[in-house]
Structure 1
Amino acid sequence: MWKRQVIFFIISPFVLIGCSLTEDADVGSVVEEEREEQEEVRAQAEAMEPPDEDQTIAEEFGIDEARIDQAYEDTNQAQETYPTGLTIPALDIDAPVIEVGQLENGQMGVPDNGEDVGWYEPGTQPGGAGNAVLAGHVDDRTGPAVFFDLGDLEPGDQVFVTGEDGEELEFIVDEMERYPFDDSPVEEIFGPSDEKQLNLITCTGVFNQENGTHEERLVVYTSLVEEEEEEPVLPVPTELTIQGDLLSWHSVRDEEIVGYRIYEIDADGEETHVGSVSQLERKSFLVNDQDTDYTVKAVDHFGNESDPAEEADA
């Protein structure tokens, strides 16, 4: 019995020492990881530029501009429509739309009859960002054609384009211009634009027998009527915590999110943007004042922000 006790007391300290060494090793490892994280965050903070409100989203979060362009292109394509019909109530026009291309001389092709309207297929589709162009004849050998009365349109008149899916896009007339047949502003009519434009073209003026065409071109500039879209509801960062001077949070798992903005909140609840962190970086930020409140918002490709993150319960 006594020997058992001796063995017990001899072995027991080694067991306790063994446990103690294991715990010390684990604590040491955790401390080392925290120290490395702090160093990484401090290095990230030192390299961080102060917020610049004139920066692009790509510049702010250090991502490829092509990624932002692709996001806009995807959104733009979702609003485009392949045109099959044109309706202009003020002129009692309801005409089919067909594809036309570019002629060998570089000019836009036109339908081979007076009833159809031609859509310049190499260019923008109606509804997309840019200048979509539709053209029709003012007359033909039998008399007035589809765009004979186009010059009677007035600013504010409606123009409707029907897509192959049956959906209609509404455009509003902005202005009309007449140009010499050989001196039209091609870039303005056909070129790129951030706006969603639809330009209607026809001939006008005296018919020049020598040149075989009318002396002027009439261009009706219209713009898309867009429904007000609700701002997207983005997922909110979670597990926002402040330990010492380290603010941290959990990332949002959403491919649309490109980064996070950190805001300082004053006593009146006013928010001041104090930093930005890319989705690819560690989700941490060194705060300047530990007695001040902070929050974090997720940001998508277009600069839309989520609701502010709330500090996690201790």
Structure 2
Amino acid sequence: MTVRRAGAALALVLALAGCGTAEPPKAAAPAPAPASVPVTVPFKGLRPTSVKIPKIGAESSLLAVAVKPDGSISVPSVRTPMQAAWYKLSPVPGDVGPAIVLGHVDGDKKPGIFFKLKDLAPGDEVDIDRSDGRKLKFVVDRVTQVPKDTFPRDAVYGNSAKPELRLITCGGAFDHAEHSYKDNIVVYANLADA
């Protein structure tokens, strides 16, 4: 499967996850993922271990998450809104392609790790450490706020010829009926000196 097809599934599950407003429902028992849930190269151990964004004071270890059998994304608990996660079916940061890092905008009535993500601007830096000891610096290219129902799947998850990073959280107005924010904040960044 391509990163693009995995990205389409992630876009759907991000909308369902609520980005820090409600915890996804728990499956009764583990089951194999349905055939309709696309996957990419399996996770083999190399992973990012932390993210740090100096401009907004964000720093977190990174959990590795994927798509649950019910099709929703396994995100960190809203009870720990300062915990960020790497979508392990995307490339490892520093490898070719768009690596995906997710974080809550808020949760448990507190700001989340990506509460100020919308304040980033081109030229700002994002540091990622990996389990192989590499310390990577990404430079923000652009920041967008997009409605969830028109999420730019190809721009966010489309294959690329160089190492890239996407930081994603919720934003915009809060829809109380859906218990979710109406938009996503997406930060696009490139590996420095790549």
Same fold, judged at TM 0.5 (above)? yes
Residues 117 and 139 of structure 1, relative CA distance in 2, 3 Å threshold? same
Find the residue that maps to 1:124 and give its secondary structure. Answer: coil
Q: TM-score, normalised by structure 2?
A: 0.71
Q: Secondary structure at the match of 1:216?
A: strand
Match of 1:133 among 100, 107, 113: 100
Q: Which residue of 2 aligns with 1:157?
A: 124
Deviations 1:112-161 (A, max 9, x none): 12121110101111011111000000000231011001111110001000
216-225 or 138-147, which deviates more: 138-147
2:49 corresponds to 1:84: yes
Q: Does structure 1 residue 225 correspond to structure 2 residue 189?
A: no
Which aligned pairs between 1:131-280 and structure 2 lie closer than 5 A? Answer: 131-226=98-193
User: Once the 2 structures are TM-superposed, how far is the Cα of residue 182 of structure 1 from its aligned partner?
Assistant: 2.4
Give TM-score, length-normalised by structure 1. 0.45
Aligned to 1:217, the other structure's residue is in SS state: strand
- Structure with higher RCO (Cα < 8 A, 6+ apart): 2
* Structure with the largest fraction of helix: 1
Secondary structure of the corresponding residue to residue 81 of structure 2: coil
Secondary structure of 1:182's match?
A: helix
Residues 1:215 and 1:105: Cα distance change in structure 2 (over 3 Å): farther
Structure 1 residue 105 displacement after superposition: 5.8
The verdict on how the C-alpha distance between 1:206 and 1:104 changes in structure 2, with shifts beyond 3 A counting, is: farther
SS at match of 2:129: strand
Distance 1:105 1:221, change over 3 A: farther
**Sequence identity of aligned pairs in percent?**
34
Aligned amino acid, residue 87 of structure 2: Y
Q: Alpha-carbon deviation of 1:93? A: 1.5
Counterpart selection for 2:81 from 107, 114, 124: 114
Per-residue CA deviation, residues 211-257 of structure 1 (Å, 9 max, x unaligned), is 12100000000000126xxxxxxxxxxxxxxxxxxxxxxxxxxxxxx
2:150 aligned counterpart, secondary structure: coil
- Gap runs ≥5 in structure 1: 1-80, 228-314
User: Matches of 2:74 and 2:158 in 1, distance apart?
Assistant: 17
Structure possessing the higher radius of gyration over alpha carbons: 1
Q: How far apart are the structure 2 equivalents of 1:185 and 1:162?
A: 27
Q: Give, in angstroms, the shift of residue 104 of structure 1.
A: 4.5
How many angstroms apart in 1 are the aligned matches of 2:88 and 2:147? 24
Q: Give how far 1:106 is off.
A: 4.3
**CA deviation digits over 1:156-200, x for unaligned, max 9?**
001000111332100000001111122211222123211211000
